[in-house]
């Protein structure tokens, strides 16, 4: 493809791309592991690779070669027929998770949409249709997903939303107990609210949620779009708590950067998704499934869950030291390589400082600096990235940002 400089890229976007994203004035053109290069040749350390999609690093050779090989064989075949990569991927996913069966789609929002539809179908057979979700949650941008999302700012301009969804305070078992009744078909939650500010679920709350669902005959749905695929030190976030869902939604890291979403459901629940009830033209596409299978194999072959845990321990040690030093840090929280550093203020300014100094992080909810580094980031790179972050935080503290 022709080389463009940043001004040309920006001009083209300004002329032809809808402006729904607040973009930083940088265009990335290449990635390798935890490094990315912009159009002007600057090299960055990426502590937020692909918004959490590339847990095994950018352009992992195994993913690149699986895509190359499969794209030369068969890019797409519709679901009127069987294809090999879809079945292979479903087996990996089912065996690594809680058994059951899989449905494939293209994104996290679609995986949530599918989970909600499956819960409604399952509920219809039992006279139940209500869904309970959490305040502060984020589930994506389709109508079903924003209706499930418990943050008003995502609803603005889109009402009326999908009816039959109640939001309750996160980690409040009394509120959950009151909200779930005989009409409830599902309770949906994230184990760590990512976009919501890296808020961890309490283990006791999760146990209670499982019990309430069992008691009231409702399904428990986990949105593992961000927490799945090794992010939290286990294949899936729920494995940290030993509490299984009935339905799990995945996307982001599943394809190593290639777009794919998935839903896994216990075999009995999955039965409700009968022919004609739901579909996705590209869902389970051979190319996407080959990429995702390469991700499963790479995580296993390179022992990345264990390496992610080690990196996490080092990262939290350093961040805790930063917290002890800088009063501006209110809290450091997270699990595995899903990390939030809550500042008292200036989150956005720290993000900008890091970007200016060639380190990519994220800031959510104005004050929470979020890191989602790859499970194979080299330690010297991690430390270099954290040095820059620490320098940004020090400047924020001294009022010199």
The catalytic site residues sit at: 138, 223, 252
CB of 385 to ligand PLP, least distance (A): 21
**Strand runs labelled E in 63-204:** 101-105, 130-134, 165-168, 184-189, 192-193, 199-200
CB of 145 to ligand PLP, least distance (A): 6
Core vs surface per residue 65-74: b (16+ CB within 10 A) or e: ebbeebeeee
- Assign 178 to helix, strand or coil: helix
- How many other CB atoms are there within 10 angstroms of residue 365's CB atom? 17
In the complex, which residue's CB is closest to ligand PLP?
108
Query: Alpha carbon 286 to chain centroid distance?
Result: 22
CB of 201 to ligand PLP, least distance (A): 12
Residues 174 and 144: their CA atoms lie apart, in Å, by 26
Q: Which residues of the shown chain bind ligand PLP in the complex (CB under 6 A)?
A: 107-109, 112, 138-140, 190, 194-195, 223, 225-226, 251
Q: Which is nearer to ligand PLP, 107 or 264 (CB)?
A: 107
Element (H, E) at 247: strand 247-250
Q: Which is nearer to ligand PLP, 46 or 195 (CB)?
A: 195
Closest CA to 370 of 328, 341, 336, 327: 341
Q: Which is nearer to ligand PLP, 323 or 333 (CB)?
A: 333
CB of 267 to ligand PLP, least distance (A): 24
CB of 24 to ligand PLP, least distance (A): 18
Q: Are the CB atoms for 110 and 118 separated by under 8 Å?
A: no
Q: Which is nearer to ligand PLP, 295 or 388 (CB)?
A: 295
Q: Which is nearer to ligand PLP, 103 or 138 (CB)?
A: 138
- Assign 136 to helix, strand or coil: coil
């Amino acid at each position: 493809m022709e080389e463009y400089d940043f001004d040309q890229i920006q001009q083209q976007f300004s002329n032809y791309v809808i402006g729904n994203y607040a973009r930083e004035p940088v265009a990335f053109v290449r990635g390798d592991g935890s490094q990315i290069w912009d159009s002007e040749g600057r090299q960055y350390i990426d502590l937020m690779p692909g918004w959490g999609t590339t847990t095994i690093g950018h352009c992992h050779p195994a993913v690149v070669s699986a895509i190359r090989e499969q794209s030369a064989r068969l890019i797409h075949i519709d679901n009127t027929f069987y294809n090999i990569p879809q079945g292979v991927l479903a087996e990996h996913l089912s065996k690594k998770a809680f058994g059951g069966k899989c449905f494939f789609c293209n994104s996290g929002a679609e995986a949530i949409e599918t989970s909600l539809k499956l819960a409604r179908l399952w509920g219809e057979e039992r006279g139940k249709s209500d869904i309970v979700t959490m305040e502060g949650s984020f589930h994506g941008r389709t109508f079903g997903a924003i209706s499930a999302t418990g943050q008003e700012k995502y609803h603005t301009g889109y009402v009326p939303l999908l009816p039959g969804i109640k939001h309750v305070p996160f980690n409040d078992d009394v509120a959950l107990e009151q909200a779930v009744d005989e009409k409830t078909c599902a309770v949906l939650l994230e184990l760590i609210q990512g976009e919501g500010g890296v808020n961890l679920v309490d283990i006791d709350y999760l146990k209670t949620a499982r019990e309430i669902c069992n008691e009231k005959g409702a399904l428990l749905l986990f949105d593992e779009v961000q927490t799945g695929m090794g992010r939290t030190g286990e294949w899936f976030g729920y494995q940290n708590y030993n509490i299984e869902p009935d339905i799990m939604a995945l996307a982001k890291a599943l394809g190593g950067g290639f777009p794919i979403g998935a839903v896994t459901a216990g075999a009995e629940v999955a039965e409700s998704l009968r022919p004609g009830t739901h579909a996705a033209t590209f869902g389970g596409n051979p190319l996407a499934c080959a990429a995702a299978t390469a991700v499963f194999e790479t995580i296993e072959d390179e022992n990345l869950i264990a390496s992610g845990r080690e990196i996490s321990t080092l990262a939290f040690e350093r961040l805790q030291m930063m917290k002890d030093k800088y009063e501006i840090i209110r809290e450091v929280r997270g699990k595995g390589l899903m990390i939030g550093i809550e500042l008292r203020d200036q989150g956005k300014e720290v993000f900008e400082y890091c970007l200016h100094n060639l380190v990519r992080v994220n800031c959510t909810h104005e004050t929470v600096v979020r890191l989602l580094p790859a499970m194979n980031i080299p330690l010297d790179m991690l430390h270099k990235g954290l040095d820059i972050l620490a320098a940004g935080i020090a400047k924020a503290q001294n009022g010199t940002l």
